[in-house]
Structure 1
Amino acid sequence: MADQRIANSGAKRVLMLAWEYPPRIIGGLARVVCALSRELVKQGLEVHVVTADHPGTPEYEVDEGGVHVHRVKSQTNKLGEKWDTPNFITWDARLQFGMLQHALRLHAEKPFDVCHAHDWLVADAGWVLKSIGLPLVSTIHATEFGRNHGIHNPDSEYIDTVEWRLVYESAQVIVNSGHMLREVVDHFGAPAEKILVIPNGIEPDKLKNETPVEVLREKHGVGSGPVLLFVGRLVREKGIQVLIEAAPRILEEHPEATIVIAGAGYYEAELRATAVSAGVADHVKFFGNANDVDLSELYTIADALVVPSLYEPFGIVALEGMAARVPTVTSDSGGLMDIIEHTVNGITTFAGDKESLAWGILQVLNNPELAVSLTTAARKKVLEQYTWRAIATRSREAYDFAVAAKDNVIAIGSASAASDKVA
C-alpha cells in the first residue's frame, strides 16, 4: 500500500506497456489502459503507451485524449495472412523485443519516471526497463492459474512463472478486485501490503445512444422479442456456453427471444456447435467484434446483459451495462461479486449452472418493476464508485510510491524461494 509519507514524490512522465490499445481491442485490457492513460493526461501527466501495431493506424500519434501512442511490429516477417511464428508465446516474445527497443529509445531521449506494465504479455520488457533503474508498477488483470483453474501444461507453467516474476519484480502491484487480491496473495505468495486494489472504471455516458429502439432493433434484425446481450471475448472462461445451454428454458416463456453475442475468439466454432445441439441456433446471433458505436446500439436494444463468467477477475462489461441502464445478470464468479449486489443492482446466479442462469434472466424479463429498480441502483453505484478520475488518482499514488521506493522494492518471500521458483 502506498505510504503517504512518500506518496507525493511526483511521477510526471509515465511509460505504459500494453499489448493492446484502441483501435486494437482484444479484450477489456485495451479499454482500461486507454481510459486510464487519458485521465492521467487530464491530471497533468505525460503518458506514452508502447503497444502492438494495428492495420490502418500510424506508428506514432498523439490520440484524441492527449496520449502519445507508439505502435511497434513484432520482430517477424508476415507470410500471407499468418505470422511466421510457431505459437503465440513466441509471437509475444518477438513483439516485446520490438516494444523494448522502442521504449529504450524513448527513455534515452527523455527519461520516464515510472513504467506501468499490464499483464504477463509485456513482463519481459518491464523487467529489462527495471534493470536500468526505471521503477516498475504492474497491473495483474487476470492470472493463468485462475483462467484455467490450475496449471495443466507447459505453456501455462511458463505463463504462470512469468506472472509470478512480474509480481516479484514490481514495486507496487495493482489488481482490480478483492478476489484478485486474494488470488495474487495466495497463489504467488505476495505480501498483501504490496498489492493495491484499484477497480476498473468506465465513462458512464460513452455508450449513450439517442436512436429510437425500434430503429436499432430493425437494423440488427432482432425482431420484437427480448434481446439477451453478451459482450466479451469468445473464450471458455467467459461462460457463453452456459448462456446458450440456458436458452431452451428461456425460450419456453419467451419464444421470440434472441441472444446476441458480441465478440470474437477461439471458442466461436464450439459455441456455434453448442447452439445447434441445443436446438437454439436460430435464436443466437454472432455479431463479431463491436466498436463503441456498435456497443452503444446493442446496449440500447438489450433487455438484459448477461455476464455468465466461469472466471472473472473484475467484470468491466457489467459496469458498462449498469451505466447504460440495462438489467444485468451475472454469475457469482470472482470480481463480479464486488460489483453486483443480488436483487439490489443486478441478479447473481451460480457460475456454470444453466438452470440458475435461466432463472436469473427470467427474473428480469418477467418482472419489469424489478428491472427498473435494478437499473436505477446500478447506475447510481457506477456514478459514485467507478469514475476514472478517482481511479487515476489512486494509480498516481502507486507511481509516486514506486519512484520514491525504487531502491527498496518489497520482495516476495526469501531469496531462496525466489531462486527455487525460477530454477
Structure 2
Amino acid sequence: MNILHLTPYYAPAYAFGGVVRSVEGMARALARRGHQVTVLTTDALDSASRYSGVPEELRDRVRVLHATNISHRLRGRLNLSTPGRMQALARELLPDIDVVHCHEFRTMENLLVTPIAEELNKPLILSPHGTLTRTTGRSHLKIAWDKMLSPIVAQRFRHVLCLTPRELDDVQTLWTTFDSRKTPPGFSVIPNGIDPDEYDHLNGRAHFRTRYHLGEGPVCLYMGRLHERKGVQVLIEAFKAARVPAARLVIAGPDEGMLARITPLLDDTIILTGYLEGPERLAAFAAADVFALPAIGEGLPMVALEAMGTGLPVILSPGCSMPEAAEYGAGLIVEPACEPLSAALRELLTNPTQRESMGRKGQQLIRNQFTWDAVAVQLEQVYRSLTAVVE
C-alpha cells in the first residue's frame, strides 16, 4: 500500500513529545513491511527553531516532506502550524495514495489536507494521541476550535484509532458532539509501541552519573516536558518527602511553563538536565534505577514504554492509562499525590531486588504487547478494510 502520514511535526522534532516518536515508529515499521510510506509534515523542530535539513528526504525507508511554516512564532507560542505549501504538496501526493493517516485532531494540517483527500475519495484515519479530550491542555482553545471547525473536519474521517480503552470511551463520547453523521466512523484500539532491541543493553550509565554528579545511590528519572499536567511538581515534593539516603531525582525535558514554579523546590538531590536527545537521552535511562511519571492525563505515554523497554520499574499514575504495568508486576500505579507517590518512591528506591524483578517483567510485557512490528500488523488490517470499501 501507498500510505500517507500527516502530522504537524516529525523526527527529529522530538521536543514536541511522544507523538513524534509514535508517528516515526509507525512509519518505520510499515516501511519495513514493504509499504510505500510518506510523511507530510512541517519544518517545526522545537518551539524556538526550524528544521534546517532538506525539504524532502528518505529516512529509514520513509519519504519525509517538510512544508515551511509561514510563522514560526505562532508554531511556538500557540502550537499552531502555518504550513504554506501543505496543500500544494498534498495535491501532488494524494492521487497515488491509498490511505491517509492523520495525527492529532485540532491541526491546521487537517484543515488543509482532509478536504483534498475527501475530494479524491481517499480513506481518512485519525489518531488523536490522547489530545482530543478538552481537560488536558489549552481547554479554552479546544472548545473554541470545536465550535467553529471540528464539525467540519470530523465528518471526513472514516476511522479513529485510540491508544487505550479509556481513550476510546472518551473519544466516542466527545465525537458525538461534533459529528452528526447517521453512520459514525469506525473506532479501534491500537497501542503505541517501541522497537525493543533499541533499548536493550544500553551504555552510558557511568558517564551520565559522573556528568551530573549523581553518585552511587539510587536514581529516579522523570523524562518529559515540564508541563503542569505531567505532575513534575508533585513528583519533586514526593521525592523530598521520601527521604531516601543518597537518592537522586533526575528531571529531563524542555520547559513548558513549569520551570519557574519548581525552581524554589530544588535542592542538591534534584538535577535538571534540560532537554536530552540521542545517546545522552538513552544514557539517562541507563543511569536510572526507577522511572516515574505521575501525569494527570496521557494517551499512552511513549516514554513509559521506553523506560520499561530499558528494564526500569515504573511508577505511573492512573492517568497514564497503562494498568498492564501493575498487572504484569512491572511497576506501581499510584495517585498523583504526595503521600502515595512518596510511599511508592521509597518502596522501589530502597529495594534493588524488587526493582530488578519488575524491570525484567516490564521488558517481557513490552515484547509481548507493545512492539511497533505488532502495531504495524494491526494498522495494516484497518487500512485494508478501508481501502477494500473504496474499491
User: Who is 2:290 aligned against?
Assistant: 304
TM-score (norm: length of structure 2): 0.88
Q: Is the deviation greater in 393-402 or in 44-53? A: 393-402
Structure 1 Cα separation of the partners of residues 204 and 4 of structure 2: 42
Rounded to whole Å, the distance in 2 between the matches of 1:299 and 1:141 is 24
1:75/1:98 contact within 8 Å kept:
no
Name 1:233's counterpart in structure 2.
225
> Deviations along 1:30-60, whole A, 9 cap, x unmatched?
1111111111111111011011114331111
1:183 aligned partner: 170
1:195-252: CA deviations, max 9, x gaps? 11000000112134553633331123222332211111221111111101212212x2
Describe the shift of the 1:265–1:103 C-alpha distance in structure 2 as closer, same or farther (beyond 3 A): farther
Q: For 1:114-153, what aligned pairs fall within 5 Å after superposition?
A: 114-120=99-105, 121=107, 122-132=109-119, 133-148=121-136, 152-153=139-140
From 59, 64, 67, the equivalent of 2:55 is 59
Correspondence for 2:235 = 243
Matching residue of 2:250: 260
Q: Distance in 1 between matches of 2:193 and 2:208?
A: 27
Are residues 313 and 367 of structure 1, via their aligned partners in 2, closer, same or farther at CA, if it must alter by over 3 Å? same
State the alpha-carbon separation in 1 of the partners of residues 129 and 270 from structure 2. Answer: 29
Letter matched to residue 24 of structure 1: A
Q: Is the 8 A contact 1:18 1:50 kept in 2?
A: yes
Partner of 1:366: 350
Which residue of 1 is the match for residue 161 of structure 2?
A: 174
Taking the aligned partners of 1:192 and 1:367, their CA distance within structure 2 comes to 50
Looking at structure 2, the residues matched to 68 and 361 of structure 1 have their Cα atoms a distance apart, in angstroms, of 43
Q: Which residue of 2 aligns with 1:221?
A: 213
Q: Percent same amino acid among aligned pairs?
A: 24
CA change 1:34–1:203 in 2 (3 A) is same
* Residue in structure 1 matched with residue 37 of structure 2 by the alignment: 47
CA distance in 1, matches of 2:328, 2:343: 13
1:378-408: CA deviation from partner (whole Å, max 9, x where unpaired)? 111111111111101111112122223349x
Alpha-carbon deviation of 1:118? 0.3
Q: 1:257 to 1:165 in 2, by over 3 A?
A: farther
Establish whether residue 318 from structure 1 lines up as the match of residue 304 from structure 2.
yes
Partner of 1:100: 87
Gaps of 5+ in 2: 44-49
- CA RMSD, 1 decimal: 2.5
Deviation string 1:157-213 (CA, Å, 9 cap, x unpaired) is: 134455565443211111111111011112223889711100000011213455363
> Quick one: which amino acid aligns to residue 289 of structure 2?
D
Distance 2:132 2:370 in 1: 26
Shift in CA distance, 224/137, structure 1 to aligned 2, threshold 3 Å: same
Counterpart CA distance in 1 for 2:384 and 2:197 is: 31
2:17, 2:76 → 1: CA distance?
23
Q: CA deviation at 1:87?
A: 5.6
Contact 2:201 2:310 survives alignment (8 Å): no
397-406 vs 230-239, greater mean Cα deviation: 397-406
> How far apart in 2 are the matches of 1:384 and 1:23?
28
Partner secondary structure for residue 347 of structure 1: strand
- In structure 1, runs of 5+ residues without a counterpart are 1-11, 77-81, 408-423
Change (3 A) 1:166 1:181: farther
Partner-residue secondary structure (3-state), 2:295:
coil
Q: Tell me, what secondary structure is at the counterpart of 1:265?
A: coil
Instruction: Give the equivalent residue in structure 2 for 1:283.
Output: 269
SS in structure 1 of the partner of residue 333 of structure 2 = strand
Q: Partner of 2:331 in structure 1?
A: 346
